[in-house]
Structure 1
Amino acid sequence: MSFNTISVIGLGYIGLPTAAMFASCKKNVIGVDVNQHAVDTINRGEIHIVEPDLDMIVHAAVTEGYLKATTVPEPADAFLIAVPTPFKSTLNKESDSEIPEPDLSYIKKASEAIAPVLKKGDLVILESTSPVGATEKMAVWLAAARPDLTFPGPESSYSDTNIDVNVAHCPERVLPGHVVRELVENDRVIGGITAKCSARSVELYKTFVQGECVITNARTAEMAKLTENSCRDVQIAFANELSIICDKLDIDVWELISLANRHPRINILQPGPGVGGHCIAVDPWFIISGQPNEAKLIHQARLVNDSKPAWVVNKVKHAIADFLLLNPNKSVSDITIACYGLAFKADIDDLRESPAMQIVGEISKLNVGSVLAVEPNLKGLVEVISGVTMTSLSSAHSNANIHVLLVEHSQFIEADKPAGIIIDTKGIYK
């Protein structure tokens, strides 16, 4: 059975580009999202997120009639679920510590929303980053909502011959700012609950994916994405911990890393103000929550990276003290602090789990005269954090006494170094 109509549930940073890629291949695509503003924007042929080249693809797809958005699921041949999987804090009784637990309520709601329009022969793929076992839970939720259809069971209790709806997991593996290219070029990990579920998923993704579609089972596919991001988190934690040690020893950490990386088998990452985004800052907790006593290194890396924003704020407090020491006629209320960057990484507008947002929020509580923020990737100068004034790069350079570089946006790299006290968490002024 061919895939004539494809539905993508969740039109965010992953769902919308995925929908657009299918539509660019002349497939009829129905995008579904609870955000009416996002739906209306897409139906005008525009996008509500920042992602290079995506605006042109969406505009063409909508204009040609291959892509439409709605708030209510409609019948299709394949359904891709790309909704958020946030986490919530719960107490681990064995360690008496707060460990975030994955919140699967969005996946469950999406499953229940598409269930009424499912038919025999359909394919449902979970793309949302998920803890191990989530795809099997989704199949159970779908089966409960549609007892007239058969779905693959958690232990593959159904044979491929009598399954009405195939279910699989295929995690996204793309870099914000390069999503369009990487959706096409990157390899995909396909984890079907049964062999036919996997085969059908490969058939679907080969509509536009040029990378290899590697087949495994659903649990391994789920764990693969968590492993990739946990590995990065551990590597970043090493760099962040190294930066704190070097600060105490009066060593330039960026020079040190550059020298160390001259070794042919060493590749240390760059430190920063913390770790943000919807993947690296979140996914390790899915492993930790499932195996809290075994995931010791992964857990410690999370603690190191989560503590870095507080370290940066402490550096700002020391900078305030230094300013007052150098300017005895000034008071704290005379100080203006400019913070450069709010997104979780360079040259995007995504604020999810951003350490920069956390840092700027804490700086705003220091009772200085004024706190400015520069984020060139956000449209307009709309207040993002209470008490923080959004401003231009030139205005921040001219008016601030203390400059806190948090994100290495290209605009900051290309600009001259500001005058005053500088806290450079990304090493662009090294």
Structure 2
Amino acid sequence: MTSRSTASTDTTDQQAVEEVVIIGTGFVGLPLAIMLASKGKTVHGIDIDKNVVKAINDGTLNVNEKELNSRLKEDTVQENLVGQTEPTSGDAFVISVPTPLTEPNKSPDMSHVEAAVDSILPYLEEGDLVNVESTIPPLTCGNHIVPQLERAGYDPGDDIQLAHSPERILPGNVFEEIVTNDRIIGGIDRASAERAAKLYEPFLEAEIYYTDLVSAELCKLMENTYRDVNVALANEFALIGDQMDVNPDDIIELANKHPRVDLLRPGIGVGGHCLPVDPWFLNEVDPEHTNLITTARRINDMMPEITAKKIRRAVADHVDPKIIALGAAYKPNNYDQRNSPANEVVEELCLDGYRVTHYDRHIDGMGYDDLQATIASESADVVVQLVPHDETVEELDELDSWLSSNDVDLLQF
């Protein structure tokens, strides 16, 4: 059963959380560490990468997230946040490590989560909280983490508290979302869930919804699977439109005039850490009832190959065409390349022997000073916009007549 509360309700009797150990200081763990440190909490950011640890301690971490870099350098954060390669004792331990897929069978690789839990066992004391932020398959807490704690001599829900609070943040907008997005917290018992709320109380401006561990695990996966399935539907409509030789964007716009229809826009595929991964976690635990989910996942997985085929057909009249590809992030106006379909498209073309130069204005080492000059200097035959960054779309709109007059074909996805 799920219940609702504000960020401060029902937690007054719970033991305060003053010292936090965060295992994994990546896209999720580091923003949490910075937010807690900025509110005066003592935070230990644990990472196996010595260079990351040094950069955290020096305030010199070079990531493509301007606000993260600036907040890391704040005096309060530098005073309260320390990077380490090994865990230490604390009031609360947050597991924030990735759960990737194994290839080619698309099963979750639990080794990072299990190693993270193993690493904190020597430092746990009675009354401590273990809070899992990693996105995990359903039943992970019950079938993996609870037995790990029990084998070490702890009784989760009695002498050790256990909760799961999956993250909800977007690269490029991390610090707004970590503050304003509602939190779902599942606990092995109500006390554990309420104790976990103490972690977020210092900075959270949204509501907290309490539930059990399995429901929290499922909730995160349902959120991302919902989005993935709806993207797949739009992509399949686009394929039908292509077959009928009509513009699918126009048809989708017309369909959305219906008061109860809100179709998404088709694209070249789905990237990021969550959407290409999380639906497979559901398939892992219940393959019998995930036919729609896995079909949608396969539709989105095949879109980069379909996009590459469209480009091949478009350049068929050119002899050894020189192609400039614009966009390497997995979504517009972003720098994140994880599971980027744009990169898959370029890889497909390069494997076919096409000459492709790949740029992205938001990614270090892939930028350009002037698009027109870049196209001219490379004597490009074709410019392919794979990711519609706002600035890139504006640039190409301004260059439209120049491209035509110089016999440069433009393909926009």
On whether the aligned pair clears a TM of 0.5, the verdict is yes
AA aligned opposite 1:422: L
1:53 maps onto 2:67 in alignment? yes
Tell me the alpha carbon deviations over residues 264-299 of structure 1, each in whole angstroms, 9 at most, x when there is no partner. 211111111000111011100001121112111111
Q: What SS does the corresponding residue of 1:293 show, helix, strand or coil?
A: helix
Q: How far is the alpha carbon of 1:423 from its aligned partner?
A: 2.5
Look up the match of 2:363: 378
Identity %: 36
Q: Which of 409, 425, 429 is residue 389 of structure 2 equivalent to? A: 409
Contact 2:358 2:366 in 1 (8 A): no
Look up the match of 2:149: 142
1:107 maps onto 2:113 in alignment? yes
Q: What SS does the corresponding residue of 2:79 show, helix, strand or coil?
A: coil
- Name the CA distance, whole Å, in 2 between partners of 1:179 and 1:197: 26
1:15 maps onto 2:29 in alignment? yes
- Name the CA distance, whole Å, in 1 between partners of 2:141 and 2:75: 30
- Name the CA distance, whole Å, in 1 between partners of 2:76 and 2:70: 10
- Name the CA distance, whole Å, in 2 between partners of 1:395 and 1:248: 37
1:68 maps onto 2:82 in alignment? yes
AA aligned opposite 1:373: H
Q: What SS does the corresponding residue of 1:350 show, helix, strand or coil?
A: coil
Q: 5 Å matches for 1:302-321?
A: 302-321=297-316
Contact 2:59 2:78 in 1 (8 A): no
- Name the CA distance, whole Å, in 1 between partners of 2:285 and 2:119: 27
1:82 maps onto 2:96 in alignment? yes
Tell me the alpha carbon deviations over residues 128-175 of structure 1, each in whole angstroms, 9 at most, x when there is no partner. 11100112211221332x32x3224xxxxxxxxxx1111111111122
Contact 2:63 2:69 in 1 (8 A): no
- Name the CA distance, whole Å, in 1 between partners of 2:225 and 2:307: 23
- Name the CA distance, whole Å, in 2 between partners of 1:192 and 1:171: 12
- Name the CA distance, whole Å, in 1 between partners of 2:373 and 2:241: 32
Q: What SS does the corresponding residue of 1:65 show, helix, strand or coil?
A: helix
TM-score (norm: length of structure 2): 0.89
Q: Which runs of 5+ in 2 are unaligned?
A: 1-14
Tell me the alpha carbon deviations over residues 150-206 of structure 1, each in whole angstroms, 9 at most, x when there is no partner. 224xxxxxxxxxx11111111111222211111111110000011111111122221
AA aligned opposite 1:295: T
AA aligned opposite 2:133: E
AA aligned opposite 1:403: V
Against the structure 1 CA distance between its residues 253 and 47, is the aligned structure 2 distance closer, same or farther, given a 3 Å change threshold? farther
Look up the match of 1:327: none
- Name the CA distance, whole Å, in 1 between partners of 2:99 and 2:205: 27
Q: How far is the alpha carbon of 1:46 from its aligned partner?
A: 3.1
Q: 5 Å matches for 1:349-364?
A: 349-364=335-350
1:423 maps onto 2:401 in alignment? no
Q: How far is the alpha carbon of 1:52 from its aligned partner?
A: 4.6
* Aligned residue pairs, count: 388
Q: Which runs of 5+ in 1 are unaligned?
A: 91-98, 153-162, 325-330, 383-389, 426-430
Look up the match of 1:338: 324
Tell me the alpha carbon deviations over residues 313-335 of structure 1, each in whole angstroms, 9 at most, x when there is no partner. 1011112213x2xxxxxx32xx2
Q: 5 Å matches for 1:151-190?
A: 151-152=156-157, 163-190=158-185
Q: Which of 260, 266, 269 is residue 265 of structure 1 equivalent to? A: 260
TM-score (norm: length of structure 1): 0.86
AA aligned opposite 2:130: V
Look up the match of 1:93: none
Contact 1:127 1:169 in 2 (8 A): yes
AA aligned opposite 1:32: I
Contact 2:95 2:134 in 1 (8 A): yes
Contact 2:172 2:335 in 1 (8 A): no
Q: How far is the alpha carbon of 1:227 from its aligned partner?
A: 0.3
- Name the CA distance, whole Å, in 1 between partners of 2:289 and 2:166: 24
The farther-off stretch of 220-229 and 174-183 is: 174-183
CA RMSD of aligned residues (A): 1.8
- Name the CA distance, whole Å, in 2 between partners of 1:202 and 1:17: 17
Against the structure 1 CA distance between its residues 259 and 61, is the aligned structure 2 distance closer, same or farther, given a 3 Å change threshold? farther
Q: How far is the alpha carbon of 1:381 from its aligned partner?
A: 4.4
Against the structure 1 CA distance between its residues 177 and 391, is the aligned structure 2 distance closer, same or farther, given a 3 Å change threshold? same
Against the structure 1 CA distance between its residues 16 and 63, is the aligned structure 2 distance closer, same or farther, given a 3 Å change threshold? closer
- Name the CA distance, whole Å, in 1 between partners of 2:46 and 2:371: 37
Look up the match of 2:125: 119
Q: How far is the alpha carbon of 1:64 from its aligned partner?
A: 4.4
Against the structure 1 CA distance between its residues 52 and 255, is the aligned structure 2 distance closer, same or farther, given a 3 Å change threshold? farther
Tell me the alpha carbon deviations over residues 212-260 of structure 1, each in whole angstroms, 9 at most, x when there is no partner. 1100000000000000100001100011111111122222222222222
- Name the CA distance, whole Å, in 1 between partners of 2:115 and 2:133: 15
Look up the match of 1:96: none
Q: What SS does the corresponding residue of 2:243 show, helix, strand or coil?
A: helix
Q: How far is the alpha carbon of 1:395 from its aligned partner?
A: 4.8
Against the structure 1 CA distance between its residues 232 and 407, is the aligned structure 2 distance closer, same or farther, given a 3 Å change threshold? same
The farther-off stretch of 100-109 and 176-185 is: 176-185
Against the structure 1 CA distance between its residues 29 and 338, is the aligned structure 2 distance closer, same or farther, given a 3 Å change threshold? same
Contact 1:51 1:348 in 2 (8 A): no
Contact 2:72 2:78 in 1 (8 A): no
Look up the match of 2:245: 250
- Name the CA distance, whole Å, in 2 between partners of 1:247 and 1:396: 31
Q: How far is the alpha carbon of 1:409 from its aligned partner?
A: 1.8
